[in-house]
Amino acid sequence: MIVRITPDAFDPAAEFAAFEAAQGTGAGAVVTFLGRVRAPGDADRYTLTLEHYPGMAEREIGAILEEARSRWKLLDALVIHRHGRLAPGEPIVLVATAAAHRGEAFAAASFIMDFLKTRAPFWKKEAAGDSARWVEARASDDEAARRWTT
């Protein structure tokens, strides 16, 4: 289980290759999710800045991975999350899971993303031209996380 929070751009293909190569022969399924900066409208003037709580961010994501491991037979998991200033199209977050079968790998990756969005201490600020605003939390994200609690 690896958690990496970094201000630096990462190469999704290289990260996937390294994660996949590290898995043993018992891992029949590897699932990856990549979140990218999605720009509304005037993309070339748009930037996203991610602020995070150093220490707590690593700790919360680590706890989410442990929770995922206890629910499914996860063999391995990786989360890479950017912070700082990002341009449209740049990767923000990579989640990778490895399990014996695809059902567990898909479910765990989905669970990790849903909880990442409601528990990991990151805050987004959008800027376009001269105006900037903090993005507000969405009720739909809380609902997505809640579906795992039944």
One residue of 66, 137, 143, 147 binding another protein per CB under 8 A? 137
Nearer to another protein, 12 or 35 (CB): 35
Residue 34 vs 100, nearer CB to another protein: 34
11 contacts another protein (rule: CB under 8 A):
no
The yes or no reply on residue 36 touching another protein (CB under 8 A) is yes
Pick 76 or 82: Cβ nearer another protein: 82
DSSP 22-62: T--TT--EEEEEEEEPPPPS-GGGEEEEEEE-TTHHHHHHH
Which position among 16, 23, 29, 124 is part of the footprint of another protein (CB under 8 A)? 124
According to DSSP, the residues that pair with 86 across neighbouring strands are: 48
| Rounded-to-integer distance, Cα 124 and Cα 35, Å | 14
